[in-house]
Amino acid sequence: MSEKAEGSILYLDEVSVSFDGFRAINKLSLVLEPGEMRAIIGPNGAGKTTMMDIITGKTRPDSGDVLYDGKVDLTTLDEAGIARLGIGRKFQKPTVFESHTVEDNIELALKARRGTWATLFHRRSRSEQVRIDELLQTIRLSDKRDLLAAKLSHGQKQWLEIGMLLAQEPRLLLVDEPAAGMTDAETAETAILLKEIAKTQSVVVVEHDMTFVRDLGVKVTVLHEGSVLAEGPLDQVSANPKVIEVYLGR
Amino acid sequence: MRMLRCLATLFLLMMTVLPLKAATAIADADLTALVNALGAGDFDATEQAIAALAASGDDRVAGILDKLGNGELVTRKADKAVFIGEKADKDFKLTDPVTGADAGIVPKATVDKLKVNNKLRRAIATAVGTLTLRNADPKVRLAAAEAVMKSQDAAAIPALDAAIGAETDAAVKTAMISARAAAVLASDLPDSEKAKAVDTIADLGTRDALGMIAPYAGQAGPIGDAVKAATTAINAKLALWDAGQNIWYGLSLGSVLLLAAIGLAITFGVMGIINMAHGEMVMLGAYATFGVQELIRNNAPELFDYSLLIALPVAFVTAGGVGILIERSIIRWLYGRPLETLLATWGVSLILQQAVRTIFGANNREVGNPSWMSGAFTIGEMQVTWSRLWIIAFAAVVFLSLIGVLKKTALGLQMRAVTANRPMASAMGIRTPFIDALTFGLGSGIAGLAGVALSQIDNVSPNLGRGYIIDSFMVVVFGGVGNLWGTLVGAMTLGVANKFLEPYAGAVLGKILLLVFIILFIQKRPRGLFALKGRAVEA
Amino acid sequence: MLTYWLTNGFDRKAQIVTAVLVALAIVVPLGSLLPPDDSVLHISTYQVTLFGKYLTYALLALAVDLVWGYCGILSLGHGAFFALGGYACGMYLMRQIGTRGVYADPVLPDFMVFLNWKDLPWFWYGFDMAWFAFLMVILVPGLLAFVFGWFAFRSRVTGVYLSIITQAMTYALLLAFFRNDMGFGGNNGLTDFKDILGYSIQSPGTRAGLFAASALFLAFFFVVASALTRSKLGKVLVAVRDAESRTRFIGYRVEHYKLFVWTLSAVMAGVAGALYVPQVGIINPSEFDPAASIEAVIWVAVGGRGTLVGALIGAVVVNFGKTWFTGMLPELWLFALGGLFVIVTLFLPTGIVGLFARLKSLRKPPVAPVAVANQSGGAS
The pLDDT tens digits for A34-77 are 888 999 988 877 888 889 899 998 888 999 999 998 888 998 99
C-alpha span between B473 and C164 (Å, rounded): 7
Rounded to a whole number, what is the distance in Å from the CA of B16 to chain C's nearest CA?
56
Burial grade of B334 (CB within 10 A; 0-12, 13-18, 19 or more): buried
Chain A positions touching chain C (beta carbons under 8 Å) = 56, 58, 78-80, 83-84, 88-89, 91, 95-101, 104, 107-109, 114-116, 119-124, 146-148, 150, 164, 168
Q: Which residues does chain A have within 8 Å of residue B533's beta carbon, measured at their own beta carbons?
A: 19-20
Q: What is the DSSP letter of B424?
A: H
Please tell me the total count of domains within chain B: 1
Q: Which residues does chain C have within 8 Å of residue B510's beta carbon, measured at their own beta carbons?
A: none
State which H helix or E strand residue A180 sits in.
Answer: none
Average pLDDT over residues A122-135: 91
pLDDT-above-90 percentage for chain A:
28
Rounded to a whole number, what is the distance in Å from the CA of B522 to chain C's nearest CA?
8
The pLDDT tens digits for C313-343 are 999 999 999 999 998 888 889 999 999 999 9
Rounded to a whole number, what is the distance in Å from the CA of A97 to chain C's nearest CA?
6
Q: Which residues does chain C have within 8 Å of residue A164's beta carbon, measured at their own beta carbons?
A: 250
Rounded to a whole number, what is the distance in Å from the CA of A158 to chain B's nearest CA?
21
Provide the 10 A C-beta neighbour count for residue C238. 25
CB contact under 8 A, B535 and A20: no
CB contact under 8 A, B535 and A19: yes
What's the full length of chain C, in residues? 380
Residues 66-125 of chain A whose Cβ lies under 8 A from any Cβ of chain B: none
pLDDT for C171 equals 92
Rounded to a whole number, what is the distance in Å from the CA of C232 to chain A's nearest CA?
5
C-alpha span between C303 and C225 (Å, rounded): 16
C-alpha span between B331 and B268 (Å, rounded): 12
Residue A153 has pLDDT above 60, yes or no: yes
- In terms of residue numbers, what domain contains B257? 242-464
Instruction: Please name which of A68, A67, A28 lies closest in space to residue A171, comparing C-alpha atoms.
Output: A68
C-alpha span between C22 and C213 (Å, rounded): 10
With a CB cutoff of 8 Å and minimum separation 6, the contacts of A150 are A98, A99, C371, C373
Q: Which residues does chain C have within 8 Å of residue B336's beta carbon, measured at their own beta carbons?
A: 376, 380
C-contacting chains (≥3 CB pairs under 8 Å):
A, B
Does residue C162 contact residue C252 with C-beta atoms inside 8 Å? no
Taking CA–CA distances from B538, the nearest residue in chain A reads A58
Residue C242 has pLDDT above 70, yes or no: yes
B539 in reach of chain A (CB within 8 A): no
CB contact under 8 A, B343 and C297: yes
Taking CA–CA distances from C239, the nearest residue in chain A reads A97
Rounded to a whole number, what is the distance in Å from the CA of A71 to chain B's nearest CA?
28
pLDDT by position in tens, chain B (length 539): 555 555 555 555 555 444 444 445 577 777 888 888 877 777 788 888 887 777 776 777 777 887 887 778 888 887 778 888 888 777 888 888 888 788 788 888 888 887 788 888 877 877 777 777 777 778 878 877 777 777 777 777 777 777 777 777 877 877 787 788 777 777 777 777 777 777 777 777 777 777 777 777 777 777 777 788 888 888 888 888 888 888 888 898 899 899 989 988 888 877 778 899 999 999 999 999 999 999 999 988 888 888 889 999 999 999 999 999 999 999 989 888 888 899 999 999 999 999 999 999 888 888 888 888 888 887 777 788 888 899 999 999 999 999 998 888 888 888 888 877 778 888 888 888 888 899 999 999 999 999 999 998 888 999 888 888 888 888 888 887 777 888 999 999 999 988 888 878 777 888 888 888 888 888 777 777 776 544 344 33
Taking CA–CA distances from B520, the nearest residue in chain C reads C151
Does residue A228 contact residue A61 with C-beta atoms inside 8 Å? no
With a CB cutoff of 8 Å and minimum separation 6, the contacts of B165 are none
| Bridge partners, residue B385, by sequence | B376
The pLDDT tens digits for C28-73 are 999 988 888 888 888 888 999 999 999 999 999 999 999 999 999 9
pLDDT for C289 equals 94
Q: Which residues does chain B have within 8 Å of residue A24's beta carbon, measured at their own beta carbons?
A: 534-535
Rounded to a whole number, what is the distance in Å from the CA of A133 to chain B's nearest CA?
34
With a CB cutoff of 8 Å and minimum separation 6, the contacts of B516 are C172
CB contact under 8 A, B343 and C380: no
First vs last C-alpha separation in chain A: 39
Which ranges constitute the DSSP H helices of C72-197?
Answer: 78-97, 110-114, 130-154, 159-178
Q: Which residues does chain A have within 8 Å of residue C155's beta carbon, measured at their own beta carbons?
A: none
B533 in reach of chain A (CB within 8 A): yes
Residue among A99, A107, A115 whose CB faces C238 most closely:
A99
Q: Which of B535, B537, B538 to mutate to test the interface with A (most CBs of A within 10 A)?
A: B535
Instruction: Please name which of C68, C86, C76 lies closest in space to residue C289, comparing C-alpha atoms.
Output: C76
Positive or negative CA dihedral for C133, C138, C144, C147? negative
pLDDT for B300 equals 85
Instruction: Please name which of C195, C199, C207, C177 lies closest in space to residue C92, comparing C-alpha atoms.
Output: C195
CB contact under 8 A, B534 and A58: no
pLDDT for C223 equals 93
Strands A172-176 and B91-95: unpaired
Asked whether residue B419 is domain-assigned, the answer is yes
**Dihedral through CA B403, CA B409, CA B413, CA B419, nearest 10?**
-50
Helix axes C232-242, C254-280, angle to 10 degrees: 100
Average pLDDT over residues A208-236: 85
Asked whether residue B127 is domain-assigned, the answer is no
C-alpha span between B134 and B506 (Å, rounded): 49
Q: Which residues does chain B have within 8 Å of residue C294's beta carbon, measured at their own beta carbons?
A: 343, 346
B534 in reach of chain A (CB within 8 A): yes
Q: Which residues does chain C have within 8 Å of residue B512's beta carbon, measured at their own beta carbons?
A: 172, 175-176
Chain B positions touching chain C (beta carbons under 8 Å) = 272, 274, 330, 333-334, 336-344, 346-351, 353-355, 357-358, 466, 470, 473-474, 477, 508-509, 511-512, 515-516, 518-520, 522-524, 526, 539
B535 in reach of chain A (CB within 8 A): yes
pLDDT-above-90 percentage for chain C:
65
Taking CA–CA distances from B537, the nearest residue in chain A reads A19
The pLDDT tens digits for C22-40 are 999 999 999 988 888 888 8
Provide the 10 A C-beta neighbour count for residue B87. 10
CB contact under 8 A, B538 and A58: yes
CB contact under 8 A, A58 and C245: yes
CB contact under 8 A, C379 and B353: no
Instruction: Please name which of B70, B72, B66 lies closest in space to residue B53, comparing C-alpha atoms.
Output: B66
Taking CA–CA distances from A47, the nearest residue in chain B reads B535
Rounded to a whole number, what is the distance in Å from the CA of B353 to chain C's nearest CA?
8
State which H helix or E strand residue B383 sits in.
Answer: strand B382-385
Q: How far is CA A140 from CA A26, A99, A135, A160, A191, in A?
A: 41, 20, 8, 9, 15
Asked whether residue B346 is domain-assigned, the answer is yes
What are the φ/ψ torsions at residue B395 (nearest 5 degrees)?
A: -60, -40
CB contact under 8 A, A80 and C232: no
Burial grade of B226 (CB within 10 A; 0-12, 13-18, 19 or more): buried
Please provide the DSSP assignment of B152-190 as one string: --TTHHHHHHHHHHH---HHHHHHHHHHHHHHHHHTT--
CB contact under 8 A, A80 and C1: no
CB contact under 8 A, C175 and B512: yes
The pLDDT tens digits for C146-193 are 999 998 898 888 888 889 889 989 999 999 999 988 889 999 999 989
Residue among A79, A95, A98 whose CB faces C373 most closely:
A98
- Residue B532 CA to its chain's centroid (Å): 41
Asked whether residue B224 is domain-assigned, the answer is no
Residue among C239, C249, C257 whose CB faces A83 most closely:
C249
